[in-house]
Structure 1
Amino acid sequence: MATAGKVIKCKAAVAWAPGKPLSVEEVEVAPPKAGEVRIKIVATGICHSDDHVLKGSLPNVEFPVIPGHEGAGIVESTGEGVTSVKPGDKVIPLCLAQCGECSYCRNPESNFCQKSHISGPQNLLPDKTSRFTCKGKQIYHFLWVSTFSEYTVVPEYAVAKIDAAAPLDKVCLFGCGFSTGYGAAINTAKVKPGSTCAVFGLGGVGLSAVMGCKAAGAARIIAVDINKDKFAKAKELGATDCINPRDFKKPIQEVITEMTGQGVDYSFEAIGHRDTMIAALASCNMNTGLCVMIGELDSGSEISIDPTLLLTGRTWKGTMLGGWKSRECIPKLVASYLEKKFNSDLLITHTLPFAKVNEGFELLRAGKSIRSVLLF
């Protein structure tokens, strides 16, 4: 393309400091170096983790930063040595890399990568420099992807090439929200046909978990949220029961245990609160129940639990990106979407021009949206 090798000026949403609204600015995006890919982002979803960034409650995030990690776009140019994608390819930038070389990537049972943000900060690209500048200042990356920028630069091992037929304004959700929730049920929990499930939190990730439980053949799916406006969508996506903890005087785990007789087979916490994580764990049956932690706690948070919750056999485990090996599996998930094996479009409640990014966050915080998608 004509822009290859040149600095590109474009729009991006910059978080200059914690607790402040995003500022749509003109930024300069440097060309990709060896092993890097520059992507023109077409669409990006707004995820709750991005709101954690704005609040300053995520670890290893430095300001000023360009958030966003749920995008889809087209390769604009590639750096030296890049072989898996070429200019013009449709791609999803990955907030969980797959380098293919570390011990986790080589383990068929793992989807983690030792180059991920849990192992080290991803505020700068692997060579410890940024590709973003604004008003003469260096701007940090977020999870290497920074999809709240019209152009972004990522390492090759954090890019998945997808089918050219994929609608980018729909499959951008596969960069995080849908893949995480759906995969938590399919891959992490391995929900069995005829089983009972409980999903705590009916945002985009929780509702994706509901979809995953249904796809796996669960007989009963109990959806839990304090916002009753989410219940109709939950039932549309497969929930059999919807309950609001505020409607009961007893702890919600006791309610779920009474509803099921012994607790559910699988529970999923998709909020990121200490109390709901403990409630989700206690909602499982005490012997073979499995609780999957999807929600992200604020930085520095700790949880105290009664160890007898685990002593009798319950399992408590976490998931990253729903257990998918990102570069291998996200393209397959997109192919399944194109084959109409599921309808993740139902999660998209608002589509906004990029200039209204702050309005999208207001909808999220007010509980009025499931997923808002921003279009450049």
Structure 2
Amino acid sequence: MSTAGKVIKCKAAVAWEVKKPLSIEQVEVAPPKAHEVRIKILATGICRSDDHVISGAFAMPFPIVLGHEAAGVVESVGEGVTCVKPGDKVIPLFVPQCGKCTSCRSTKGNLCSEHDLSEARGLMLDGTSRFTCKGKSLHNFISTSTFTEYTVVHENAVVKIDAAAPLEKVCLIGCGFSTGYGAAVQTAKVEPGSTCAVFGLGGVGLSAVMGCKAAGASRIIGVDINKDKFPKAKEMGATECVNPLDFKKPINEVLFDLTDGEGVDYSFEVIGRVDTMVCDFRNWTAK
């Protein structure tokens, strides 16, 4: 029986308060309004940004349904939606793409004016929410909210993907992969033959390694204190890996030694620690 136009009751992980564990609740998800899309979420990743909201480092209104790195299938669409249709496999976008504002039309960036990253209203574009739980309205997280079996997004915040795409893998394109890969290819614009260092070999770091390789870097040095990550990093394109704990001297000096005192052309800090960033900056030199 079709659920189009009806409220859907499903499970979701709700963050009721800052610094409190997520709670699995039954929520009600309203039908999509005009130019909105309701998605059945089939795969979602957990990003550090979600944890930042729970810890209070990323200020958002509570209660809230977190999650922004996902893939799913369109369940129904609101009036006027033409970009996707029910049954399409899709990825929600935490940075919407209206295609009309200055940022969307620029070749140097894509932070659409309709994003909800800085104002953090936690609501749909019309100022309302599509989630309720125990009679209380729940906030939306950066245009997506994917820690739920069903979510509603604006048509500007969803993109259709190949029907054969494995959702448990392509969900990473929603944030982790595009962040790391894009940092190398789009932001830094790594050049063929260059030498790169990637600090942190988690999901985003490995994506940066892949981006450096795709851009033609001749040396890609992975840096991490967990040597168990090295085999996968090399599989993804790292030419060598170093563990700072194996050396008595600072890692920036180690990297200078590895590059005959020249340093690297591009350096990526993919951990999010200030002390690593300071070392990262000292390690970088332009040839």
TM-score by length of 1: 0.73
- In the alignment, the residues of structure 1 paired with residue 153 and residue 269 of structure 2 have an alpha-carbon distance, to the nearest angstrom, of 30
Q: Which residue of 1 aligns with 2:251?
A: 252
- For residues 25-73 of structure 1, the C-alpha deviation after alignment (integer angstroms, 9 at most, x for no partner) is 11100111111111111111122222222222113x1111111111001
Q: Which residue of 1 aligns with 2:217?
A: 218
Structure 1 residue matching 2:179: 3-state secondary structure: helix
User: Post-superposition shift, 1:248?
Assistant: 2.7
Q: Which residue of 1 aligns with 2:276?
A: 276
Alpha-carbon distance change, 22 to 241 in structure 1, aligned in 2, over 3 angstroms: same
- In the alignment, the residues of structure 1 paired with residue 168 and residue 21 of structure 2 have an alpha-carbon distance, to the nearest angstrom, of 24
- In the alignment, the residues of structure 1 paired with residue 121 and residue 99 of structure 2 have an alpha-carbon distance, to the nearest angstrom, of 18
Q: Which residue of 2 aligns with 1:198?
A: 197
Counterparts in 2 of 1:40-59, with a 5 A limit?
Answer: 40-59=40-59
Q: Which residue of 2 aligns with 1:159?
A: 158
Structure 2 residue matching 1:152: 3-state secondary structure: strand
Q: Which residue of 2 aligns with 1:135?
A: 134
User: Post-superposition shift, 1:228?
Assistant: 2.0
- In the alignment, the residues of structure 2 paired with residue 257 and residue 115 of structure 1 have an alpha-carbon distance, to the nearest angstrom, of 43
Alpha-carbon distance change, 122 to 228 in structure 1, aligned in 2, over 3 angstroms: farther
Q: Which residue of 2 aligns with 1:12?
A: 12
Which amino acid is 1:262 matched to?
A: E
Counterparts in 2 of 1:311-350, with a 5 A limit?
Answer: none
**Number of residue pairs matched by the alignment:** 286
Which amino acid is 2:84 matched to?
A: V
Structure 2 residue matching 1:235: 3-state secondary structure: helix
Which amino acid is 1:85 matched to?
A: V
1:267 aligns with 2:281: no
Q: Which residue of 1 aligns with 2:35?
A: 35
**8 Å CA contact 1:12, 1:149 repeated in 2:** yes
13-22 vs 174-183, which deviates more?
13-22
- For residues 273-324 of structure 1, the C-alpha deviation after alignment (integer angstroms, 9 at most, x for no partner) is 1111222222111x45xxxxxxxxxxxxxxxxxxxxxxxxxxxxxxxxxxxx
1:239 aligns with 2:222: no
Which amino acid is 2:126 matched to?
A: D
**8 Å CA contact 1:66, 1:141 repeated in 2:** yes
Which amino acid is 1:28 matched to?
A: E
1:93 aligns with 2:92: yes
**8 Å CA contact 2:63, 2:138 repeated in 1:** yes
User: Post-superposition shift, 1:119?
Assistant: 4.3
Structure 2 residue matching 1:234: 3-state secondary structure: helix
Q: Which residue of 2 aligns with 1:342?
A: none
Which amino acid is 2:147 matched to?
A: F
Which amino acid is 1:160 matched to?
A: V
User: Post-superposition shift, 1:245?
Assistant: 2.2
- In the alignment, the residues of structure 2 paired with residue 66 and residue 282 of structure 1 have an alpha-carbon distance, to the nearest angstrom, of 39
- In the alignment, the residues of structure 2 paired with residue 92 and residue 118 of structure 1 have an alpha-carbon distance, to the nearest angstrom, of 18
- For residues 197-223 of structure 1, the C-alpha deviation after alignment (integer angstroms, 9 at most, x for no partner) is 000111100011011111222111111
**8 Å CA contact 1:202, 1:225 repeated in 2:** yes
**8 Å CA contact 2:122, 2:139 repeated in 1:** yes
- In the alignment, the residues of structure 1 paired with residue 111 and residue 250 of structure 2 have an alpha-carbon distance, to the nearest angstrom, of 34
Counterparts in 2 of 1:272-311, with a 5 A limit?
Answer: 272-285=272-285, 287-288=286-287
- For residues 86-139 of structure 1, the C-alpha deviation after alignment (integer angstroms, 9 at most, x for no partner) is 111111000111111111111123222122234422511111111111111111
User: Post-superposition shift, 1:80?
Assistant: 1.5
CA RMSD in angstroms comes to 1.5
Q: Which residue of 1 aligns with 2:114?
A: 115
What is the percent sequence identity of the aligned residues? Answer: 69
**8 Å CA contact 1:122, 1:144 repeated in 2:** no
Structure 1 residue matching 2:65: 3-state secondary structure: coil
Alpha-carbon distance change, 136 to 94 in structure 1, aligned in 2, over 3 angstroms: same
Structure 2 residue matching 1:139: 3-state secondary structure: strand
**8 Å CA contact 2:61, 2:120 repeated in 1:** no
- In the alignment, the residues of structure 1 paired with residue 231 and residue 52 of structure 2 have an alpha-carbon distance, to the nearest angstrom, of 27
Structure 1 residue matching 2:159: 3-state secondary structure: strand
Which amino acid is 2:46 matched to?
A: I
Which amino acid is 1:241 matched to?
A: E
Q: Which residue of 1 aligns with 2:174?
A: 175
Which amino acid is 1:3 matched to?
A: T
Which amino acid is 1:267 matched to?
A: S
Which amino acid is 1:148 matched to?
A: F
